Chain A
Amino acid sequence: MRYLDEFRDPALAKRLIDEIHRRATRSWTVMEVCGGQTHSLIRNGIDTLLEGAVDFIHGPGCPVCVTPLEMIDRALAIAARPEVAFCSFGDMLRVPGSSRDLFSVKAAGGDVRVVYSPLDSVRIAEQNPDRQVVFFGVGFETTAPANAMSVLAAKHRGLTNFSMLVSHVLVPPAMTAILTSPSNRVQAFLAAGHVCTVMGTWQYGPLVREHRVPIVVTGFEPLDLLEGVRQAVIALESGEPSLVNAYPRAVAPQGNAVAQAVLGDVFEVCDRQWRGIGMIPQSGWRLSARYGDFDAEQRFAVGDLTVAESALCHSGQVLQGLIKPHECPAFGTACTPRNPLGATMVSSEGACAAYFQFRRLDLPVLPKVVTSGA
């Protein structure tokens, strides 16, 4: 068992697809919350294979996409300071701020470094006592344990030149915001399996009961996604909304208790702006007062930031499931992964990037260039 090829088996995928079509008496609208799942669905063509049974709305679970613009601008201002070594996950570097991105700060001589794990940035702080090392702590409940442990490690090692710019977001409040929106069309959710490896499944019970919406905890391989959809369709057809764990090999109902204890110590819940969506109450984590010394926002006064989003970019509507990526007029023309207007075109989790990479045939047809004399 390698837990990979087994869950990509085409023959079993066919069985699941047939079973979903057999059970669905109409087309159901299902939201996969996580951007990693969006990419897997589009890359494997699952959305087209299930046409007529399921219409997928792509959810806001892309940390790069929802990190608020003012936080990106703050990161850019801190990264440009001469005493700072600014460390980040690689996919944040091309996220557009109001006027530039971290790559352009680096190109202008800023000390911007890509790390695989926030622990690497703690090591950089140890090895460079004359530099102020700042880690850009973004992401959902999946990256939060790594970021929290790195703050703990910096504290244990007595580092005074390490801090974190924290902009964490939480999945369940975002699902509540979607369900309570007047324009909500979601009939069932595929919940992000890896968030649940940390937080467990218990957070979703109240959502199922209160909003009468099926929620299926789902993995990332093609068969996992198909099983998530199958369970969602079973619940929708029965009219009995339920909470189903379709990813039991990775997710325990209680989640990871050690991680939850550390998260509860290092972070505290706060209101958070989501890029393209707006403020969602109690939807983020910031450093708790006990770890205020490590808060980059407090350490570096950045001053007044003038924040301006691209007028051409419709990523807010994409993130809320109101339009699909290719329905944006800038998609594939003014906005591409090499030159993104919005964060949804940037990362390996953004819906626009998924459509661009795996749906090239759907790209708008550009006018032919006529050469004189031809």
Chain B
Amino acid sequence: MCLGIPGKIVDVWEDRGTRMAHVDFGGAVTDVCLAYLPEIEVGDYTIVHAGFALTRLDERSARETLRIFEELGMLEEELGVRRP
């Protein structure tokens, strides 16, 4: 019940005053409640638990994290240092 995977918000509607969305998880689309993310929009990615979107994924942070990984060990590679 605790496994949240990223999904993309494909459309948003209202159900009795509550914002709901269709979220696409790599082709599987489910109904998700947006009550906890009032500002999230179509096109954003989110993590969903038990039918509720809990956080908006931040693209800039994601790219920064990947950039750090890319740079790991670059110095050693350039200098031709062998790892033990």
- The residues of A with any CB-CB pair to B shorter than 8 Å are 1-4, 6-7, 9, 12, 15-16, 18-19, 21-22, 34-36, 61-64, 89, 91, 116-120, 138-140, 142-143, 145-147, 149, 153, 194, 197-198, 220, 223, 227, 246, 248-252, 256, 258-259, 262, 348-349
Contacts and interface: CB of A to CB of B under 8 A. Distances in A.
Nearest to B50: A146
Contacts of A256: 36-37, 54-55
A6 B51 contact: no
Interface in B54-76: 54-55, 57-59, 61-66, 68-70, 72-73
A194 B6 contact: no
Contacts of A140: 2
A61 B2 CA distance: 9
B79 interface: no
Nearest to B72: A15
Given A1-B45, A142-B4, A146-B33, 14 more contacts: A2-B6, A4-B6, A7-B66, A18-B73, A22-B83, A138-B1, A140-B2, A149-B52, A197-B4, A198-B54, A220-B3, A227-B68, A250-B47, A259-B54
B70 A250 contact: no
A84 to B, nearest CB: 21
Contacts of A139: 1-2, 50
Contacts of A63: 1-2
A252 B64 CA distance: 15
A147 B50 contact: yes
Contact of B55 (A12, A116, A251): A251
Contacts of A22: 83-84
B69 A145 contact: no
Contacts of B36: 145, 149, 256, 258-259, 262
Contact of B49 (A64, A142, A258): A142
Nearest to A13: B69
A119 B51 CA distance: 8
A43 B4 CA distance: 17
Residue of B50, B65, B68, B73 ringed by the most chain A CB atoms within 10 A: B50
Interface in B3-49: 3-6, 8, 18, 26, 30, 33, 35-38, 45, 47, 49
B47 A1 contact: no
A349 B66 contact: no
B2 A143 contact: yes
Residue of A64, A89, A246, A249 ringed by the most chain B CB atoms within 10 A: A249
Interface of B: 1-6, 8, 18, 26, 30, 33, 35-38, 45, 47, 49-52, 54-55, 57-59, 61-66, 68-70, 72-73, 83-84
A39 B54 CA distance: 22
A34 B1 CA distance: 12
A63 B4 CA distance: 14
B1 A250 contact: no
A194 B54 contact: yes
B12 to A, nearest CB: 16
24 contacts: A2-B6, A2-B8, A2-B45, A3-B57, A15-B69, A16-B69, A22-B83, A34-B2, A117-B50, A138-B1, A139-B50, A142-B2, A142-B4, A143-B50, A146-B33, A149-B36, A194-B2, A220-B3, A248-B58, A250-B55, A251-B55, A252-B55, A258-B37, A262-B36
Contacts of B8: 2
A118 B50 contact: yes
Contacts of B2: 34-36, 61-63, 139-140, 142-143, 194, 349
A249 B54 contact: no
B59 to A, nearest CB: 5
Given A149-B35, A194-B2, A348-B3, A89 B59 contact: no
Contact of B51 (A21, A91, A120, A198): A120
